[in-house]
Each structure stands twice: as C-alpha cells, then as structure tokens.
C-alpha cells in the first residue's frame, strides 16, 4: 500500500530520520517500528551514494523510503525518485517559484519536467511495464514542500495551489528562528503554535498532505489534532542517546542496588 | 589515564559494542556515556578498514578503543594495536596454545612476537618517542582472552598463567550453549552462574582483569559482586531498538491521550 | 587520438553507459569492445567520488571517458573535466540560456568561465605543461547538449550557435514523452523519427557533433544514416540481463537436451 | 523454501558468481533469473564489508545467498553465516582435517564449534526466536567442501563422512591443473570427466549435495546426468562480456545492413 | 581559539589544501605543522561524504577545518558548517548577488537564511546549548569570497559590504587567466601583483579578512606585506612530490657516493 | 619489463610503501619517481578492497605492484596475485615451514598449491591466453620472505632453499628488536649491520633476490654495497611530513626574510 494511500485513508504515520550515510545503520532503523525511513541530505550526512544504497534495506523491510534533499537541489529530487524513493521533502520552499521548480523536478510531463530514467526504481519496485510506470508515477510519488519561514507562510496559498505539490512539511526549528527573528531556536514556542495549526488547516482545505518534524515525540498528539498525519522523528543521535541512557541507567542501578 | 590503570584502580567500566562498520555511527556511540567502545570483528560487521577509521572518533571522544578479533585471527590482533586500539578481545581461547598464540601477537619481544610498525597508533596517541613507545607498549595494551567453552574452563589456570594474557572476557551466550551441550542459548541460565563466578574468582587470584558481556544490563550488579570490572553491552541493534521503542511509545501515548 | 578527432574523422563510435558507481564494474566494462565509457550522474548512480575513481580504469583501458551530469549541475561539468573526463553530456538543455551556462562551465576564458585546477586531469593525461594544457583544453574537451524536449527543438538553432557547445546528444526516451505530451515513453515512436533526423541535420549543418542514446542497438544503422556518429548504449542492467539470458538459456538447453 | 529443501527435492539450481565487491552490482545480478548468488572471496574481490552489504539485495530478491571463503579462512565461514548467508563454499578441502575445521566453523555445538552471534542474520531472515534459530541453524545452513585436488579425491570418503559437511563443490579448473600436474588449465579435459562423475557418485551415495562450477554453461546437461544439482556460473566478466558482444554485434550489424 | 580570533589577533596562518577525499590522508596532513586543513570540493576530489568524515581528524588534531565548495553550490556551504567546518571558501564570487547568496547560506537569520540543523557540528565542537550555539554561530564561522575574475574586482566594494561576508580569498591562477584574457595561467605574473595588493588593501579597509592561495610558498612573504593573513598551500600532489623527491634524491645520492 | 628481469639485470630499484588504503592516494604516489609501489597490509592500513582497487593506478602508471600481507595470511598472498600484484612480501618467515606455506600460496602446482582464478590479474595485465598465463606465472610473480628475527636467521639456508621463494626482504626494525632482545628499536644499530650483510650474502649465493626496508634513505648506498637491490621506503607519513616541512619552511623563511 502506498504512502499516499495510507495517508489519504487517514492513518497516522511515523518516519524515522536518518542522518548517518550508511546502509547498515539504515537497515537497523528500518527494522524498528516506524512506518517509513527518511534519509536526510540537508542537515544529515546522506548523499547520492548513501541514498542509492540506503533505499534497499528500507524497501526490504517493506517500509516507505523518503528523502530530504538539500536546499535548492532539485536535480536530486529527481534522482531520489529514480533511486526508488516514494516521497521527497524539499526544504525552504519559500515562494511559488520555489514550489514550481520543486514540482517540475518531481513530476513527469505534462505536469512537470522530470526526465525519464528509473534505472534503479523500476526493478526495485518491480511492477508493471515502463508505460504503466510512467502513467502512475506522478500520482504515486509525493512532493512535500517544507514550510519554515515567514515568507513561506505568506506564500502558502500559492504553494498549495502549485500543481505537483502533494503536501506540506513543517520545520519547527527553522520556523522558531524565523518567528523570533533569529533570537532563539525552540520548537516548543507557544506563540508559534497557532501558525503551525494554520498551516495544517490551510493544507487540509487545499486537500494536501500534512507532515511535521517532532523534536519531542510527545508533541505528536497535539499536532495530530491540528491535522498533521505524518511525523518525522528519531535521528540516529536521538535513538542512540535514548538507548544508551536506558541501558546505562539500568546497569548502574543494578550496581548500586547490590 | 589508561584502561589498565582505571581497572587496576578498581573502577567499574562500561564499553559499548559496535557491530556497524562505519566511523560515523561509532562517533555517535562514542559521544554517549560509555567509558569505551569495542569494535566487533567476530559477530559484528567490523573489518580492517572500519577499525582503522573507527578508532579516530573514539580517541577524539577521549574513550578507550577496544577491538574484538575473529576466531584465530591473531594477525588482526597486532593490526588492531597498530591502528591505535588499547585492548583486544580474542574469542574462543580454549587452550594454553590458543592463549600463547594470542599473547605472541599482542606483545613485543621478548614477551611476545609482535612486529614493529605503529604507523597509525603512534601519531594517534601522540606521546614520547619510538623507544619509549616500545618500552611501555606491552604494559599499556591489554589482551583479553574469551572464556566461553568447557574446554576453556578446563584450561583456565594455564591460560591465566600465560605471560602476556592480561585478563579474561566471559562470553555467556556461547558458554550457555556449551553448558547445555547445544540445547539452548540463554545468558541467564541459573546453573551456569557458579561457573561464571568461578572464572572471575580464579582470574582475580591470578591477578588478571575480569570482563564480561551483559546481554541484560541489569545483570551488571550481580556480576560486579563476582569480581567483574568491565562490562560490554549496547550494540547498535540494542541501542536503536531501545531508542525507537522509547520515542514511538512516547509519541503513540500522546496520540491516544488526546 | 582524441574523441573529437575520431568523430571529426568520420568514425562511428559506441560508448557504454555506466550507472553503477563502482570503479571495478567500470573497469570490466572498459575492457569490452566499446570506444568509450560514459558515467551517468543523472539517472545512473554515479557521483563525485565514483566519477573521480571510475575515470582511472577507463583511461587505463585507453578508452574515452565521458560523464553525464545531473540537470543543471554545471559545477559538476567543470569537476568532471578536472577529474579527467574528455566529454560531458548535459541533460535538458532547453534554451540558449541553458546552453550558455553549460558552455561557461566547460570552457576556460575567454570562451567560458571554467576555473583553473586540473589537479587530477593533468597527471592522468600526463602531457605537456600547464600553459600548453590551458591552450588546448577548450578544443580537446567536448560539451554535448542534450536535446530532449519540444522547447529544446524550438531553441535548437540558438543552442547550436552557442560558442562552446560542441555537439548535441539526443535523449529519445524523454523526447518521446514530450512528443506524446506525457502519454507514453517509447523510443521507437515512428512519428518522432523525422524530428530526430532533423536535429542531426541541423547539427551537421552547424558543424556540430551528433550523438544519441540507443535503447535498441539495432537502431544504430538507421540513426547513422541520419548523421549520428556516437551511440550510447549498454548500461549495466542491459549488459547483465543479456549476459544472464545467454548463459542461462545455454545451460537450460543443455539440461533439456539430455 | 530453503536451498537445502529445494536441492533435496531434486531441483536443478543455478547460482550466479559475483566477484565485484559492490552491493549495487550484486543487486542487478540478483534481479536476473538465477536461483542464488554466490559472493566469491577467494578469487573474486568480495571481502567482509561487501559480503555483509551484498547479502541484503540477494535476500530482497528472494534468492539464496552463498559465500565462497578464501583458502583456510574458516573464521569467515562463521561470519558469512552471521551476516545471513545460507551456504558457504570452502576451497581446497584436501583432507579430513580440513573438512573438520570447516565443519567446526559452520555448525553450532555439539556438532561443531560455531560461536553464537547472528546479529545480522537473525533480523535479516526475521523468523522465530533465538532458541528456535539455534535449533534449526545446523540443518538450514549448508557447508560445501571444494574438491579440486588429487589429495581431496583420495580423502573424499573421509570428507564425505565428516559430520557437518553437507555437500561437495567441484572446482574443475584447479582439478585440471592437478590432473595434468600443472601442465594446463582446461575444464573440458575429457580424461578428467570420469573423476568428476565419480565425485558426484560417491557424494550421492553418502547422501551429500553435489555442486560444480561450469565455465561453459553448456556443460550443465552432462554434469546433471552425473548427479550434480547446483551449478555455479556467470561472474561479472562473463556476464558483461556476453552482454557487450550481444549489444555491439547487434548495433554493428545494423550499421553494415544499411 | 577560533580561526577568526587568531586572524583578528594578527597571526599569520597556513592551511594545507586537501584534494584526496579520504579521511586517513586528511589525518596525516592534519598531523603536520599547518594551522588548518582545507578540504577542496571544487578542483579537489572532496565530496559530501569525505567532508563529513574528514573533519573529524582535523578537529582531533586541534586544527581549523575549512571547506571550499564547488561553484555556486551554496547548499553545500550550509552543509559544511553543519558538518563542523569553521570556514567556507566559495569560488567565483563575481558579483554582489553571488556574495549575497553565499552569505545567506552561511548565516542564520536575520543576517542570512541558513537553516537550523547542526547534527554533526554541535557534538563535534561540544560546547554550550542550542540557543548559545545559535547566538554565536554567525560570528564564529567564516565566509570567504573568492576574488578571481575581473568582474569580481569590479564588484569588490559591493562584495566587501555584503553583510555576512567575512573575508576575501584570492585565487591567483584564475586571476592570471582573467588578467591575460585566457592567454596563460601564471600565478607569478608580475603585472597582476598590484591588483592583488589592491584587493588586500580594500578588504583591510573594509575590515575583512584576507586569504590567498600560494602555489609557490616563497610568495608568502611578499603577500604578507600586502596584508594577507591566511595562506593556502600544500595539496597532496605537492606534498607527496616534494617528499618523494627529497627521499629519492637522498637515496640516490647515497648510491652514487659509494 | 618484469620486476624479476630488472632485478636480475642488476638494476637498483626503489619502491614506495603505501599504508593509506585509498586508490587516489596510491595514484599520486605511483606518479612519482619510484619504480614500484608496495601496498602494506601488515602495519599499513591496506586491506582486500584497497589492494584490489589500488593496483589499478599502479599499473596505469606502468609501475610494479607489490603487496605485503599480514603475518601468516597466505590466503591473501594468492589473492594479491589474483588481483594483479607482481610480488608479495610475507612478514615473519621464521622457519622452513613458514617458507613452504608461503611458497605454496604463491606458486601454481606442481611447484606450489595456488588455486586458479586470475579474474582481475588476467585482464589487468592483458596478455596471452589462460594456458600461457599458467605457464609463465610461477616465474613472473615474486615471493619475498621477510627475514626479521633470530629464528629466521638461524633457518635462513633452509628458507633460501625452499622452492618457490624468490628472494629475501629484510625488516631492520624488527630485527633490531630481536637483536637487542626487546631493549630498543633502531634500524641504524651498528652491531646488526654484519648480520644484515650476511643475509644479503647468503641470499646472493643462493641466487635469490635481496630487498630491504630503508627508514633512512641515505642507508641505500651502504646496503647496495652489501648486495641489496630493491629498497622499500617512503610511506605516506614520511612523504607528507617531508613535503610539509619543505613547504612550510620555505613559506616561513619568506616571511622572516623580509
């Protein structure tokens, strides 16, 4: 079942967020209870090679493969799809022009300008023939525009109307920097919450998907009420730090218990 | 302060256990609250290249670098030291002959037969001159013999007497297979505990260091009473699984709490 | 003998088309009967590192090294030349502005704006001195503009007139999508053939080189009559699938023959 | 269905033979019509890292993963299984002592001395619990002893009787060198055929599996009559050379046909 | 002490210039007497992965980590900082628009538009908290604009006034090509020296840092009088060629001395 | 011309000594004035993958490719030859048994037990057919036994008589440790010189090649008088340290010169 189908069917989904460009680390993450794994090429360490190789264990674990590209690297949006990704997240979509450029790289003509060449994606997903693949691709693959600046909020309606944009993805860290005009970074900023809720509301009205990064996983409940459906969380440093604390505190407790 | 000094001073230490052959993953683990990181070449995926590269972030984090070699690969024991490791764990040291071969690879003459060539280790530790390095190396680097079969227990006194063997490292999974003659694998096997305690006791009497793998970190307390000082735990799958459960359960709880 | 000299002398040449970013795979391909090997960074998996390393076995086999860059990644066109490539293919050159940007990245001043730094290329080709290398580089290295959209065909004359553009490279898959306005992908589309022939004709009139991707190698004869000189074919999946079919069918036939 | 089950059920199976240590190349091969892919660490370029990573695309393609270890590297036999391989081929098993050492590394106690630690294999195969995995492992994983010298033929009955040896794998190139006492290398040597048939016959009588490398795939029929069940063939150079010849000859024919 | 502090305090500093994308080679260079190591992504072979990994040994050696990005790849300027670089050098800053785009990628709002996500940089530098890191980052990290064309010289005052540009970095090879309108490449071109001095002078007046590449290290003295403070030199080919000549000539002299 | 021919013709040859497992670093070294490049797997960082890839630039530079294997890793001696190396150096050949095991891995039957499979070597050297390759291989490839302990000196005559051993390679660092019974490491130890000369003398009498590692290149002259022909020197740390000193001292002199 595709990521789009599941989200449109109303499921609440969680994606892990990988920044270590290594397929074996991705494999371990893909084996956990997440619905998807996102490979981060913006702030994480993923690159062309690690995305190409990292998608295999995600698909082998029957999870959805998502890629976040670096700012403005729409050449890579096309490549991520060619490598077998199901969704691409583009950071800093701050204007309708940004949205159009992103959509162009994500969708085959006439909707966009994506070039043909699913060398890896086609055998990895192993279905149909080339013509069928072309016919369904624009629908099956998802373009998430990151909304994380005041400019983006101002341009939101235009971004949402851009053909080929399938959803929004809120980046609350950057939004908090924008919100405080560079004063701080704080995803829990209370006076930013209404703006976040408004993004979800307008996206839902425009019939677009809603995703957000949750630094604190306990925020998922509040965001879900706003209309968010897909939650990104759990980078390797988060996962490993929590795991280490859990193991070491159990061990140290047993020491002092003696 | 060296690993030997800390253990001889009576500290209880924890080493993480890395099986993902990637220096960036090792870097994240080295940033957690462990005292050391062990790179596992036997059951883990580490290999020559990943050990050579993985030791750098461990040293950069001011942690002790440990390597477990594959069964019988004593060529690699020497290489691990040449790359900058402070301790090497050799699996399946089942006889005095095994212990001698291991010690020979770990110690410079006349104690052993280790060949000279600290190409990487010397600049990585950045101290003294070549002659000084030679003089102190046999003391500074630690050879841990794994005791994990009935044969090893039978040969234990001879192993402990072998010059150049600095300590024992108990492998409770394999020991449980040996204990049950292949019936099961169970590190919590109650009737194996006395044998484990006896290994620690005899090692302590022989003035050798005592280390053990703890599958369940809560066992550390019990083992410490037996005389164990160094606990190995926390492979990537353990760390990431615990981290993922913690994050996902927090997130899902917040969903249902709405 | 340079690729330019051979093409200008009227030779018909074949380049393999590598999408596996691994120098050993490239080495095996370079050992076959192709005249050149193209490393594909657009739909294939090649990236900076694999191009840098993959060019060595191509040169060692005395073949021409070609690189296809991702859409709009003209920074990489310069880098491919710095790494020792002899020709660069740029996809989606749809306007004179695209052609100018591509040419600027490929040619040293005053023809273009390529920056100096042939760190790898110079020792790899091992000839002359820096001043001689500068003097001959603009002539020796080839810029192929991909013509694969209706916009590109409309702008063709301007593209052909752009100083620094050495030839055209037709992408028949994308052209077929453009031709059918997204209805299908079919390089054998009969009513597209005249357009393809026209591209070759106009390029030849403008004294520019003509190259094309042949999905079905039997098309080479027809294309050569149109004026095409350089044929790209034979990606790893094509090569390996044909090889596997040949071996398995021989083996299976021998089984049933028993 | 396991490789053992299929072979015991009388299927004739083909394994490709990969020598390029790159998971993407393995992925393409695993997508062809072979039943299995063997990763060659003896004469091929595979190593610890490439085996660890290369098994994933094989399993993802639902094929059997086989590893050939270097001569005498039984530490790697255990590791290959820990990484998820289903069968291991050991070259130069020339005596009962060789066979015993190989079997010891492949089977858990009490049959052998394999050490516990299926860190990668367990999640990759994703079935049962640890105790169940232990119970079935010795049966599920296959140890193939290569018979390729006169000494091995002399010791064949003892090798076949060694507990833990599941089958023989004939290496006809080395056998031909042995056969001619170093005069030549020729897998088609007619006067060696009876010896090869005899190996199959004795293995079958001992209820052991029979595999062989076929340089010329058309030999499969003849070998199958001798009792061989599993045929290794199709290394990357073979696959790519056949593919290149097929593509280039089709293209060149079309040129001259004009 | 930060690179900025040292330069502002009047120190003359030397950075090595790495073009081999391998962390172990970087490690050896970082162990020499340079103050910093620059990883070159424009003409050198460095790429996302090698920068991410190469910064660790530089920091471990307590040196400053610098990255030169490819032309126009401002996405990578942000990433280099996220990976822990202290300074970024951008080639071909030929206009105020170029300078603004570069500065935007280097500085957090409100000064620039850099996105938040110091996943690697934060633990690698290991200081403060997120808010403190945000507050100091724009000051601590340095943006060097390369001045290497006539257009850049014409636009110099505007470039120097661009908020977020911390200094200039002169590329004398390209400048000499520009200077001679493509006639030659010669960093010792006497009639270019006044222009270079003028760049330093104007930068100093604008209170900006001055850096330059020195092909011939003996030029450092002359440049330092012009006001340059940071000298880039010593790529791997330079280092290794000088080293090889020194070793081989010593050896060969000893041969003939016999 | 083969390494053997040149040495037998009386040439004095120099090999660089690479310990950085990266083909690009090897490529730069291979471009210098050495006659050969040795890839060190014992104390250096080379491993299967880096040897397989590193031989290509050495051959491309028309230099001799040499590999030093780890202690006792004779499986790797065969593999190095299969990958295209022309000579293998085995450390710690301390007895006739060691020499026999090494020779067995280096030579095809009937001289040794090397297994057939020159998958990479054959196309890399590109000559003859398989039968011709087999016929000439034992002569063309060179087995150098390292003599670096008192035991080795005691067993020297037997080692020299072992069929398949082509020469000796003296390791003066280890020999100095042996000589002083672990007191120090000092390749210039005067009272060890006669022993070294004696090794050369006896090797020459036995018609075997003589090689030695020179830590101080000025020793070459003295060693050449003893009969040594092949000198190993110039690891990356040596090359880069000398290069850095040369560049930095030139630069710093120019600063103060003013």
pLDDT in tens, C65-110: 999 999 999 999 999 999 999 999 999 999 999 999 999 999 999 9
Q: Can you give the CATH number for the domain in which B77 is found?
A: 3.20.20.60
DSSP symbols for E110-123: TT--PPP--TTHHH
User: What pLDDT score was predicted for residue A176?
Assistant: 96
Nearest C-alpha in A relative to D24: A53
Cβ of B108 and F44 within 8 Å? no
Distance in angstroms (rounded) separating the CA atoms of residues C175 and C159 = 17
Token code pair at residue E38: 């620059």
Does the pLDDT at position F84 exceed 80?
A: yes
Does the beta carbon of C197 lie under 8 angstroms from any beta carbon of chain E? Answer: no
Question: At F170, which helix (H) or strand (E)?
Answer: strand F167-170
Distance in angstroms (rounded) separating the CA atoms of residues B2 and B36 = 11
Q: What is the mean pLDDT of residues E84-104?
A: 98
- CA angle, B134 then B140 then B145, to 5°: 115
Cβ of A24 and D53 within 8 Å? yes
User: What pLDDT score was predicted for residue E258?
Assistant: 52
pLDDT band at C257 (very low <50, low <70, confident <90, very high): confident
For residue B111, cis peptide bond before it (omega within 30 degrees of 0) = no
CB contacts, 8 Å: E164 with chain A? none
CB contacts, 8 Å: C31 with chain F? 123
Mapped onto helix, strand or coil, the DSSP state of residue E124 is helix
Q: Touching A: which chains, 3+ CB pairs < 8 A?
A: B, C, D, E
Distance in angstroms (rounded) separating the CA atoms of residues A168 and A90 = 9
Does the pLDDT at position B29 exceed 60?
A: yes
Nearest C-alpha in D relative to F79: D43
User: What pLDDT score was predicted for residue F258?
Assistant: 54
| Model confidence pLDDT, tens digit, residues D79-135 | 999 999 999 999 999 999 999 999 999 999 999 999 999 999 999 997 779 999 999
Distance in angstroms (rounded) separating the CA atoms of residues E113 and E187 = 35
Does the beta carbon of D128 lie under 8 angstroms from any beta carbon of chain B? Answer: no
DSSP tag of A15: E
Question: At F160, which helix (H) or strand (E)?
Answer: helix F156-161
User: What pLDDT score was predicted for residue E26?
Assistant: 98
Q: Where are the alpha helices (DSSP H) in chain D?
A: 3-8, 23-30, 48-60, 74-82, 96-106, 121-125, 130-140, 150-154, 156-161, 172-179, 193-205, 220-226, 236-256
User: What pLDDT score was predicted for residue B128?
Assistant: 76
Cβ of B24 and E57 within 8 Å? no
Q: What is the mean pLDDT of residues F171-194?
A: 95
CB contacts, 8 Å: E60 with chain B? 56, 59-60
Q: What is the mean pLDDT of residues A117-143?
A: 92
Does the beta carbon of B181 lie under 8 angstroms from any beta carbon of chain D? Answer: yes
DSSP symbols for D116-171: P--TTHHHHHT-S-HHHHHHHHHHHSEEEEEE-SHHHHHTHHHHHHSTT--EEEE-
C-alpha distances out from residue A121 to A2, A55, C73, D123, D255, Å: 15, 10, 22, 24, 33
- CA angle, D51 then D52 then D53, to 5°: 90
User: What pLDDT score was predicted for residue A33?
Assistant: 97
Cβ of C53 and F24 within 8 Å? yes
Does the beta carbon of F215 lie under 8 angstroms from any beta carbon of chain B? Answer: no
User: What pLDDT score was predicted for residue D128?
Assistant: 76
Q: Cβ atoms within 10 A of the Cβ of C184, count?
A: 14
Distance in angstroms (rounded) separating the CA atoms of residues D133 and A160 = 51
Q: Do chains E and B touch (3 or more CB pairs under 8 A)?
A: yes
Cα of A110 to nearest chain C Cα, Å: 5
Does the beta carbon of B245 lie under 8 angstroms from any beta carbon of chain A? Answer: yes
| Most C-contacting residue of A45, A70, A119 (CB-CB within 10 A), to test interface | A119
Query: Are the C-beta atoms of residues D220 and D226 closer than 8 Å to each other?
Result: no
Nearest C-alpha in F relative to D178: F109
Question: At B248, which helix (H) or strand (E)?
Answer: helix B236-256
DSSP symbols for C39-105: EESSSS---HHHHHHHHHHHHHTT-EEEEEPPTT-HHHHHHHHHTT-SEEEES---SHHHHHHHHHH
Token code pair at residue D13: 């199976």
User: What pLDDT score was predicted for residue A257?
Assistant: 78
CB contacts, 8 Å: A60 with chain D? 56, 59-60
pLDDT band at C258 (very low <50, low <70, confident <90, very high): low
User: What pLDDT score was predicted for residue E128?
Assistant: 76
CB environment B29-65: b (16+ within 10 A), e (fewer):
bbbbebbbbbbbbbbbbbbbbbbbbbbbbbbbbebbb
Cβ of E56 and B59 within 8 Å? no
DSSP tag of D7: H
Q: What is the mean pLDDT of residues A128-147?
A: 94
Nearest CA among D85, D32, D42, D55 for reference residue D238: D32
Q: What mean pLDDT is reported for chain B?
A: 96
CB contacts, 8 Å: B52 with chain E? 24
Token code pair at residue F98: 């060691």
C-alpha distances out from residue A28 to A35, B22, B238, Å: 14, 13, 10
Query: Are the C-beta atoms of residues E15 and E44 closer than 8 Å to each other?
Result: no
**Number of structural domains, chain F?**
1
| Most B-contacting residue of E27, E30, E62 (CB-CB within 10 A), to test interface | E27
Does the pLDDT at position A241 exceed 70?
A: yes
More confident residue, A75 or F126: A75
**In terms of residue numbers, what domain contains D159?**
3-256
Cβ of A217 and B247 within 8 Å? yes
| Model confidence pLDDT, tens digit, residues B44-55 | 999 999 999 999
Does the pLDDT at position D238 exceed 70?
A: yes
CB contacts, 8 Å: E109 with chain A? 177-178, 181-182
Say whether the ipTM exceeds 0.85.
Answer: yes
Nearest CA among C178, C157, C212 for reference residue C38: C212
Distance in angstroms (rounded) separating the CA atoms of residues F8 and F207 = 10
Does the beta carbon of F53 lie under 8 angstroms from any beta carbon of chain B? Answer: no
Place of tokens 């590999």: F67
Distance in angstroms (rounded) separating the CA atoms of residues E31 and E234 = 13
Cβ of C56 and F31 within 8 Å? no
User: Among residues 2-21 of chain E, which lie with CB inside 8 Å of chain B?
Assistant: none
Nearest C-alpha in D relative to A120: D28
CB contacts, 8 Å: E59 with chain B? 60
Does the beta carbon of C47 lie under 8 angstroms from any beta carbon of chain A? Answer: yes
Query: Are the C-beta atoms of residues B77 and B102 closer than 8 Å to each other?
Result: yes
| Model confidence pLDDT, tens digit, residues C110-135 | 999 999 999 999 999 977 799 999 99
Does the beta carbon of D118 lie under 8 angstroms from any beta carbon of chain B? Answer: yes
Q: What is the mean pLDDT of residues F11-16?
A: 98
User: Among residues 74-113 of chain E, which lie with CB inside 8 Å of chain C?
Assistant: 91-92
| Model confidence pLDDT, tens digit, residues D182-236 | 999 999 999 999 999 999 999 999 999 999 999 999 999 999 999 999 999 999 9
| Model confidence pLDDT, tens digit, residues C38-51 | 999 999 999 999 99
Query: Which has the minimum average pLDDT: A149-153, C58-62, D129-133?
Result: D129-133
Distance in angstroms (rounded) separating the CA atoms of residues D97 and A90 = 60
DSSP tag of C191: G
For residue E144, cis peptide bond before it (omega within 30 degrees of 0) = no
Which residues are within 8 A (CB) of F6 and not within 5 positions of it... i.e. 6 or more apart? F13, F35
Q: What is the mean pLDDT of residues A234-247?
A: 97
Cα of F247 to nearest chain C Cα, Å: 18
| Most D-contacting residue of F134, F137, F139, F164 (CB-CB within 10 A), to test interface | F134
Place of tokens 């690690």: A50
D120-125 long-range contacts (CB < 8 A, ≥24 apart) are: D120/B19, D120/B45, D120/D52, D120/D55, D120/D82, D120/D83, D120/D84, D121/D81, D121/D82, D121/D83, D121/D84, D121/D85, D123/A28, D123/A31, D123/B237, D124/D55, D124/D56, D124/D59, D124/D84, D125/D59, D125/D84
Cβ of B52 and E24 within 8 Å? yes
How many CB pairs (< 8 A) connect B and F?
Answer: 76
Cβ of E254 and F21 within 8 Å? no
Does the pLDDT at position A258 exceed 60?
A: no
Does the pLDDT at position B258 exceed 80?
A: no
C-alpha distances out from residue B10 to A171, B5, B230, Å: 48, 9, 10
Q: What is the mean pLDDT of residues B67-82?
A: 98
Angle between helices F48-60 and B48-60 (to 10 degrees): 110
Nearest C-alpha in D relative to B69: D75
Question: At C222, which helix (H) or strand (E)?
Answer: helix C220-226
Length of chain F: 258
Cβ of A247 and B239 within 8 Å? yes
Report the 3 state secondary structure along C160-183: HHCCCCCEEEECHHHHHHHHCCCC
Supply the pTM of this predicted model.
Answer: 0.98
C-alpha distances out from residue D83 to B68, B72, C254, D62, Å: 17, 19, 35, 16
Q: Where are the alpha helices (DSSP H) in B61-190?
A: 74-82, 96-106, 121-125, 130-140, 150-154, 156-161, 172-179
Nearest CA among E232, E170, E240 for reference residue E35: E232
Nearest C-alpha in D relative to C29: D240
User: What pLDDT score was predicted for residue B257?
Assistant: 78
Of F31, F53, F59, the CB nearest to C60: F59
Nearest CA among D122, D117, D101, D255 for reference residue D165: D101
| Model confidence pLDDT, tens digit, residues A69-113 | 999 999 999 999 999 999 999 999 999 999 999 999 999 999 999
Q: What are φ and ψ of residue F55, in 5° steps?
A: -70, -30
pLDDT band at D258 (very low <50, low <70, confident <90, very high): low
Distance in angstroms (rounded) separating the CA atoms of residues F137 and B238 = 50
Of F21, F177, F237, the CB nearest to B116: F177
Of B75, B78, B119, the CB nearest to F19: B119
Does the beta carbon of E116 lie under 8 angstroms from any beta carbon of chain A? Answer: yes
Cβ of B116 and F91 within 8 Å? no
């Amino acid at each position: 079942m595709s990521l789009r189908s599941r989200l449109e069917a109303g499921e609440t989904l969680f994606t892990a967020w990988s920044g270590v460009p290594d397929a074996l680390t991705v494999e371990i993450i893909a084996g956990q209870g997440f619905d998807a794994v996102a490979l981060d090429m913006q702030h994480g360490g993923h690159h062309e090679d690690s995305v190409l190789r990292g998608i295999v264990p995600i698909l082998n674990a029957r999870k959805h493969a998502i890629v976040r590209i670096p700012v403005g690297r729409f050449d890579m949006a096309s490549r991520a799809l060619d490598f077998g990704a199901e969704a691409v997240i583009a950071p800093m979509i701050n204007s309708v022009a940004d949205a159009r450029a992103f959509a162009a790289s994500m969708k085959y003509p006439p909707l966009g300008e994506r070039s043909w060449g699913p060398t890896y994606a086609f055998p990895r997903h192993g279905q149909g023939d080339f013509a069928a693949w072309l016919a369904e691709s624009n629908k099956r693959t998802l373009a998430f525009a990151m909304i994380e600046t005041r400019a983006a909020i101002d341009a939101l309606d235009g971004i949402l109307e851009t053909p080929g944009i399938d959803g929004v993805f809120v980046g609350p860290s950057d939004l908090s920097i924008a919100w405080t005009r560079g004063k701080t970074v704080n995803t829990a900023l209370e006076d930013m919450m209404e703006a976040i809720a408004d993004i979800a509301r307008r996206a839902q009205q425009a019939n677009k998907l809603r995703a957000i990064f949750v630094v604190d996983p306990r925020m998922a409940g509040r965001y879900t009420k706003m209309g968010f459906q897909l939650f990104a969380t759990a980078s390797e440093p988060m996962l490993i730090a929590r795991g280490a604390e859990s193991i070491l505190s159990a061990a140290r407790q047993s020491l002092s218990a003696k």
